[in-house]
Amino acid sequence: MAVIAILALTVVCIPGILAQTPDTSHVQVERQLIHNAAARLLREESSLLSKECTKVVHLLWEYNTNITAYNKEEMLKAQLNYAAVQKESWRRVQKWTKVRILLKDQYLERQFRELAVLGSTALPEEELRDYTRVITEMSTIYNTAKVCSYHDPSKCDLTLSKDLSEILKTSRDNEELKYIWKTWRDNSGKLIRQHYRDFIPMANKAAKINGFANQGDMDISAYETEGFRQEIAAVWEQLKPFYEQLHAYVRRKLREVYGEDVISERGPIPAHLLGNMWAQQWLVYDIASPYPNKVSLDVTPQMIEQGYTPKKMFELSDDFFASLNLTRMPDSFWKHSLLEHPGDREVNCHASAFDFCNGEDFRIKQCTKVNMVDLITAHHEMGHIQYYLQYKHLPYAFRNGGNPGFHEALGDTLALSVSTPKHLEKIGLLKEVQEDYEVDINFLLQMALSKIAFLPFAYAMDSWRWGLFDGSIPEKDWNCAWWDLRYEFQGIKPPLLRTEDDFDPGAKYHVASNRAYIGYFVSFIIQFQFHKALCLKAGQYDSEDPSKPLHKCDIYESVEAGNALGDMLQLGSSKHWKEAMSVLTGEEGKMDASVIREYFKPLEDWLREDNLKHGEFVGWRPDGQYCVYKAPSNSQ
C-alpha cells in the first residue's frame, strides 16, 4: 500500500518538475527518480501479472485436458479472478497516463501502452461473467460434439479429431462425406447460434470501453498498422490469380472422380469433397497429384510402417529446433504435455500450446495421430513453445509475438524445410528420391493444397466476423452471408441447401471459442518471407542459381539461420513487428506476397499450362442456390 501511495504522490508532482527549465542537475535527479519509479512499477506489475497468469493457466489446462462441469466452474472462477487482478493493475498503470510520455523511454512507454489495453476484461464484473460464460458454453458445445456413424447409425460417439477428420480425408464416397459434413454442423454450429447472438453485443461493448468502434477493430489493433485491412486485401489480390488456377485444376480432378452431376464445369467446388471439414486445407493429394506414378510426398504410410508415435513426432521437431541452435524443450514439457488423446475423458482436441507465465512450465495439448498432417501440426505447436522460451526473459507485457501472425508462423516456417523431399529423405521417411521436375511439381502441388488453398478461407473467416462486429451483416443473414463469402473468396459451395436455422461458421473452432483468424492469413504470407531470410543465412537459396530455389531449401542444422531467428524471437512484442521482421530479413519489414509467389512459381506456370491444355474454365459462376435468406425460425 505504501508503495502505491508514494507512487501516486510522485506522479502528481511530475508535470511540475518536468516543466522546470533550465534542466538543472536537481531536475535531472528528479527525472531519474521518476524514471526509476516507473520502471519499478512496471516490474512489480509484471511480476504480479505473471504469478496470477500462472494460476489461471493451470485451470485452463485442467479444463481443456479434462472437460467436466467442475473444471469448467473452477476455470471460470479463475478467469474472473485474473480479470479483477488485471483491472487493478490497469488502474495503477492508468495513473501514469499523462506522465509516461515525458519519460522519453520507448521501452517503458511501450509496456505502458500494452498494459493500458484491457481487452474484454474491461467489461463490468457481471457482464464479464456472462461474456466468459457464453464463450465457454460455445467452446464446450464444439469440443464435446459427437455424431453417429454413417455405416452404423447405432454408433453415436464419433468425434471430430478421432473419426470425422479421418473420414473426410480418406473417404471418397460422396454420400458419406455429405452426411458427415451435415451432421457435424447440426451437432455443433447449429447449437451455437443462439449463444453467438448473446456474444456479439458483449464483445462489442468491451471493445467500445477500450476505445474501439467494435471487436473487429480491437482485434486488428494488435497489428499496429494503419490501413491493415487494405494491406490484407492487396496481398490477396496478388495471390488470387494463382489461387484460381489451383481451384480450376482441383475442380477438374475432383470432377473426374465424382462426375459432372456432383461438380459442375464452371461452378464452385462442393465443400465436402476437399478432404477437410471446413475446406480450409485441401487433403485431396490422392486425387490431385499431377504425376501419380512418381513418389508420393505424403509420408503417412512410412510413419506408420516405421512405428512412429506421437512422442517421436515431437522429438523430431525438438531435434530440428536444436539443430538450429535454438532451445530444446525442458523436461517438464515432456512430463506434463498431453500429446495424444487420453481416451478416458472429454478433451478439447484442438491443438494448442500453453505458456504458464513462470518461465518454467510450457505444455502442448494435441490429440496427435500418426500421420503427416499431424507431424506438421506438431511443428506448428512446437513453434509456439519455442517462441515462449525465447521471450521468457521479457516483462509480461512483451511476452507476445511481433504480431499474432508471427506466433503462428514460426513452427510453420521450419515445417517448410521439414516437408521438402530432401529433408524427408534425410530423416528416413523417403527413400532414394530422384528429384526431377515431376517430383518438384508433385511436391509444390501438395504444398499449395495446404498453403494457397488456405488463404481465402482465412480471409473469409474474419471478413465474416468483421461484418458481424460492425453490423454490416445483420443477424438474419449470418449463415447466408457466410456462404456468400465462401463463394466469393474460395469458390466453394455447401453440398446441400443451407438456411438461417443453420450456423455453419460456428462449426469451426475459432468462431466457437472466439479466436481471431486473420493472424493465420498473415502467417501464411510471412512464413515464406521468414523462410527466405533463413535460407539465405543458411546458404541454401540463391535467386540467381536455379539449383537453389526457395522451395528446395532445408535450413536443418544451420546455426546461422537459427541464431538470426532467435534474435527476432527474443524481441517478443517489445518492438513494432516491422522492426522485429527487419532484424531477421535485413530489409524493411512488411507483408510481401511476392515471396510466396516466387516459392510456387514453377507450379503456377505448370497449372496455367495444364488448365489451358484441358480447356478448363478458370474462375467460377453460380450454379444454383446455396442458402435461403430468411429469418431463423427461433429468432426473437
Closest of 90, 105, 117, 87 to residue 222, by C-alpha: 117
Contacts of 616 (CB under 8 A, 6+ apart): 248, 249, 251, 252, 610
Candidate residues 34, 351, 453, 593; the one interacting with ligand X8Z per rule CB under 6 A: 351
**Judged by CB, which is closer to ligand X8Z: 520, or 528?**
520
Q: Which does 493 bind (CB under 5 to 8 A by kind): Zn ion, ligand X8Z, none?
A: none
354 binds ligand X8Z (CB under 6 A): no
> Could you tell me if 270 and 495 are in contact, meaning their C-beta atoms sit under 8 angstroms apart?
yes
Candidate residues 352, 420, 450, 514; the one interacting with ligand X8Z per rule CB under 6 A: 352
Closest of 424, 445, 384, 72 to residue 253, by C-alpha: 445
**Judged by CB, which is closer to ligand X8Z: 89, or 352?**
352
User: Is 510 assigned a catalytic role?
Assistant: yes
Closest of 137, 155, 159 to residue 146, by C-alpha: 159
User: Is 616 assigned a catalytic role?
Assistant: no
CB of 348 to Zn ion, least distance (A): 14
CB of 377 to ligand X8Z, least distance (A): 5
**Judged by CB, which is closer to ligand X8Z: 65, or 204?**
65
Distance (Å, whole) CA 415 – CA 569? 17
Residue 89 belongs to what H/E stretch?
Answer: helix 69-94
**Judged by CB, which is closer to Zn ion: 388, or 600?**
388
Q: Taking CB under 6 A as the criterion, which residues in 603-632 touch ligand X8Z?
A: none
CB of 152 to ligand X8Z, least distance (A): 29
Q: Cell numbers at residue 57, please?
A: 493457466
Q: What are 424-432's contacts with CB under 8 Å, separation 24+?
A: 424/297, 424/299, 426/554, 426/556, 427/316, 428/306, 429/299, 429/302, 429/303, 429/306, 430/295, 430/297, 430/299, 430/302
Q: Taking CB under 6 A as the criterion, which residues in 273-332 touch ligand X8Z?
A: 280
- Applying CB under 5 A, the span of 97-105, 145-153, 400-408, 498-506 interacting with Zn ion comes to 400-408
Burial class (CB in 10 A: 0-12, 13-18, 19+), 152: exposed
Closest of 480, 510, 496, 479 to residue 190, by C-alpha: 479
Question: What sign for the dihedral angle of Cα 18, 22, 23, 26?
Answer: negative
Distance (Å, whole) CA 88 – CA 534? 43
Q: Which does 377 bind (CB under 5 to 8 A by kind): Zn ion, ligand X8Z, none?
A: ligand X8Z
520 binds ligand X8Z (CB under 6 A): yes
Q: Which does 318 bind (CB under 5 to 8 A by kind): Zn ion, ligand X8Z, none?
A: none
CB of 349 to ligand X8Z, least distance (A): 10
**Judged by CB, which is closer to ligand X8Z: 255, or 379?**
379
Q: Cell numbers at residue 127, please?
A: 457482464
**Judged by CB, which is closer to ligand X8Z: 368, or 540?**
368
400 binds ligand X8Z (CB under 6 A): no
Evaluate the omega torsion of the peptide bond into residue 22 and state whether it is cis, within 30 degrees of 0: yes
Distance (Å, whole) CA 247 – CA 327? 40
Query: Closest-CB residue for ligand X8Z?
Result: 351
**Judged by CB, which is closer to Zn ion: 353, or 571?**
353
377 binds ligand X8Z (CB under 6 A): yes
Contacts of 568 (CB under 8 A, 6+ apart): 402, 580, 581, 583, 584
Q: Check 381, 408, 500, 616 and give the catalytic one.
A: 381
Taking each helix axis from N to C end, the angle separating 559-569 and 404-418, rounded to the nearest 10 degrees, works out to 170
- Applying CB under 5 A, the span of 130-138, 328-336, 404-412, 592-600 interacting with Zn ion comes to 404-412
Q: Check 247, 350, 407, 510 and give the catalytic one.
A: 510
CB of 140 to Zn ion, least distance (A): 21
Under rule CB under 6 A, how many of the chain's residues touch ligand X8Z? 6
Name the one residue in this structure whose C-alpha cell is 530489409. Answer: 587
Q: Which residues contact Zn ion by CB under 5 A?
A: 408
User: Mind telling me the catalytic residues?
Assistant: 381, 510
Q: Which residues contact ligand X8Z by CB under 6 A?
A: 280, 351-352, 377, 380, 520
